[in-house]
Amino acid sequence: MVKRIMYLLVLSLCLVLSASLAFSYSGAKATALKAAAVPTIDGKVSDGEWGDGIYLSKAVCLKGQAKYNGFGNVYQPDMIKDENDISGTIYCLWDEKNLYLAGKITDDDIYLEKGSGWDNDCNEIRFSPDGKAVIGLWITPKLLNKNPGWYHKNDTNAFESTEESTLIKSTVTAAKGYEWEAAIPIADKTIAGVNPAAGRTVGYTVSIGDQDKGGAEYSMPCWSLNPDKWDWGIAFWGEVTFSAVTLSKPSAVSPNAKLTSSWGDIKTR
């Protein structure tokens, strides 16, 4: 009887611990393939070089409300006319040395005048290794309309900074859009805690911050199964699993309004 009681206590404790460690995401799932060859980091996302990505458009834009989440932003899907206004694809690959990220964005009203990542047109990429700490990158093709840069904040080591970065290369085409590529060393303090490895799963979300009319209008297409209910909380994110499968042969860049198989099935509307 004593052994049975002890067994039940241990089982109960295990269930409590497993529940407390379980992540609660939106249910959106992605897979980051392993790079068979290092992508050419030149600021131009070539077809097939990055494989498939997560496509974002008005269909997954956050709904607008006054001072959303207390940050003073108003995300308005109605401000987005069409895919030429704002849309794009975010890419992610990895190997034992680097985390590779890229974005190819269509934007007919480019705004890059400010010195902080989120005040410009930018791509926001966030990871969470434990369902609590957040590792965030706000990547913009130009800070103060000069060179590529980012704002990054890492809860795992309290590192936070806004700066230009030679790790990022970008190309901007006026009234059409921008693209960028980055190779970030695994040991770099900006992404400490992500620790990509085959089979590892972490919380993950990506979005496009679109500043129009000189920053007067702001919208944010964002990756989630529930864009209407999306919040800064990790429970509204998706998750990404780093795969041992390598990107070995070219494939087409993700088509409009469709998320391809290597990134999983994510609903849009």
Reading the block at residue 223, the tokens are 């990756």
206 lies in a domain? yes
Give me the pLDDT at residue 224, please: 66
Domain count, the chain: 1
How buried is residue 128: exposed, middle or buried, by Cβ count under 10 Å (0-12/13-18/19+)? buried
191 lies in a domain? yes
Q: What are φ and ψ of residue 125, in 5° steps?
A: -130, 125
Residue 212's pLDDT band, with cuts at 50, 70 and 90, is confident
Give me the pLDDT at residue 100, please: 96
Residue 223's pLDDT band, with cuts at 50, 70 and 90, is confident
| Range among 14-23, 58-67, 97-106, 243-252 rated most confident | 97-106
199 lies in a domain? yes
Which residue is listed with tokens 């006319």?
81
CATH number at residue 69: 2.60.40.1190
150 lies in a domain? yes
Give me the pLDDT at residue 237, please: 80
14 lies in a domain? no
User: Under 8 Å CB-to-CB from 19, ≥6 apart: which residues?
Assistant: none
Residue pair 224/217 in contact (Cβ under 8 Å)? The answer is no
Does the pTM surpass 0.95? The reply is no
169 lies in a domain? yes
What is the Cα–Cα distance from 18 to 58, expressed in whole angstroms?
37
CA distances from 265 to 50, 62, 87, 105, 207 (A): 18, 19, 18, 21, 17
Residue pair 104/88 in contact (Cβ under 8 Å)? The answer is yes
Name the E strands within the chain: 29-35, 54-56, 86-94, 98-107, 122-128, 135-143, 147-154, 159-164, 168-173, 177-185, 201-212, 217-219, 238-247
9 lies in a domain? no
249 lies in a domain? yes
Domain residue limits at 38: 23-263
